[in-house]
Amino acid sequence: MIFLDNAGTTKMFEECVKTYSFYSCQEFYNPSAVTKVSAKIGAEINDVRSLILKKLNAFEGTIIFTGGATESNNLAIKGSMRGGDYEYVFSSGEHPSVLNVAKTLEMQGKKVHFVKLKEDGKIDLDDLKSKLNSKTRLISTIFVSNETGAINDIKEISKLREKFAPNAILHIDAVQGFMKIPFSVEDFKVDLLTFSAHKFHGPKGVGGLYVRKLSLIKNIVDGGGQEYGLRSGTENVPAIMALKTALEKIDVKQNFENAKNLKEKFNEVISKENGIKILNFAGSPYIESLVFSGVKGETMLHALEENGVIVGLGSACSSKKAGNRVLEQIGITKNDIISSCRISFNAYQTVEEIEKAGEIIIRVYNDIKKRVT
């Protein structure tokens, strides 16, 4: 099976599986207990926080471990809310775990602004500028689009925040960027940043939120006070330690180049078929979409799976719903959206594997076209 839905999830490294097993069966102690063995586990978790800060190129701040990106995004947004006449700004290209929180705030009577996307999939900075003011409490935007791969200019967004909404908190959903795209938190000047381990070959069920200053957010769940009181509940030690193993194994810059090469080789093959259009937004080398003229994307998805290739239909959190709101906003026609599939690579796939996938995609597409025309 050739897996081309790596934006949805990635295969866990075998080394991570071993780490997970070790901390589940040998070093299984609760880090919140007062025994020496528990204190040792607590210290090891703090070492993981330090490693993540290093990977983020962060000179200050801490890491709050959560159950994944959805929880981290909820903590960032809901935890930063305060009473008063505040406004909240979100891009229109957000993952459902951000967009649906924003809609909830709107239904609760909060003043919420949604920033338009341009045709290249990026945030319209002029529109963002028009929605910022002294009352802005939070700006929340995705770093790398999970739908298109478009990379937002966080530096410019941060500059606009400093100029027009200097008291606002800046939150970045970096799920498709962390450990994939080289960047620095210090360059971005962000306050909160979300990541998820299973997007970079770690385990499912663990993620985190980078917090520049703990005073910026409050807890949204009451409990025993773990994670600096911001995320109560016994830490998922096996998953956190397996996450560390993934961090230690990955070379972000090398993987970035590997992914670029894979995408180029794949597109060389796909370009041989005129009926398949590549939606490439010159962003992340890990993500793009294909439009299959005359064939529904869902039909292609199921047919490809039968032929040993797995692709996606966009965010797994919303892929069962009709249409694609992100592609709609950037001007992709309804017919093209219906005929599209998301392709996403991982840096450890081989050129031979990717080229084979491209050939299978073309063959399956032509087989279906013969039957439907």
C-alpha dist (Å) from residue 119 to 145, 349, 370:
13, 30, 33
* Residue 158 contacts residue 190 (beta carbons within 8 Å): yes
**Residue partners of 278: CB distance under 8 A and separation at least 6:** 267, 270, 271, 288, 289, 290, 291
E strands, 192-339, in order = 192-196, 207-211, 276-279, 287-292, 309-310
Strand 309-310 relative to strand 287-292: parallel, antiparallel, unpaired? unpaired
Spans of the chain below 70 pLDDT: 314-323, 373
Q: What pLDDT score was predicted for residue 315?
A: 46
For the CA atoms of 216, 56, 49, 249, the dihedral, rounded to the nearest 10 degrees, stands at 160
CA distance 240 to 13: 14
Q: What pLDDT score was predicted for residue 370?
A: 87
Residues designated as active site: 317
The full set of domain ranges for the chain reads 2-9+251-372, 14-249
Q: What pLDDT score was predicted for residue 351?
A: 98
Class of the CATH domain delimited by 14-249: alpha beta
CA distance 63 to 329: 34
**Stated length of the chain:** 373
Q: What pLDDT score was predicted for residue 319?
A: 45
E strands, the chain, in order = 2-3, 62-66, 87-91, 111-115, 136-142, 169-173, 192-196, 207-211, 276-279, 287-292, 309-310, 340-344
CATH architecture of 2-9+251-372: Alpha-Beta Complex (3.90)
Q: What pLDDT score was predicted for residue 171?
A: 98
Same fold for the domain at 2-9+251-372 and the one at 14-249?
Answer: no
Edge to edge, the sheet with strand 207-211 lists 62-66, 207-211, 192-196, 169-173, 136-142, 87-91, 111-115
Q: What pLDDT score was predicted for residue 165?
A: 98
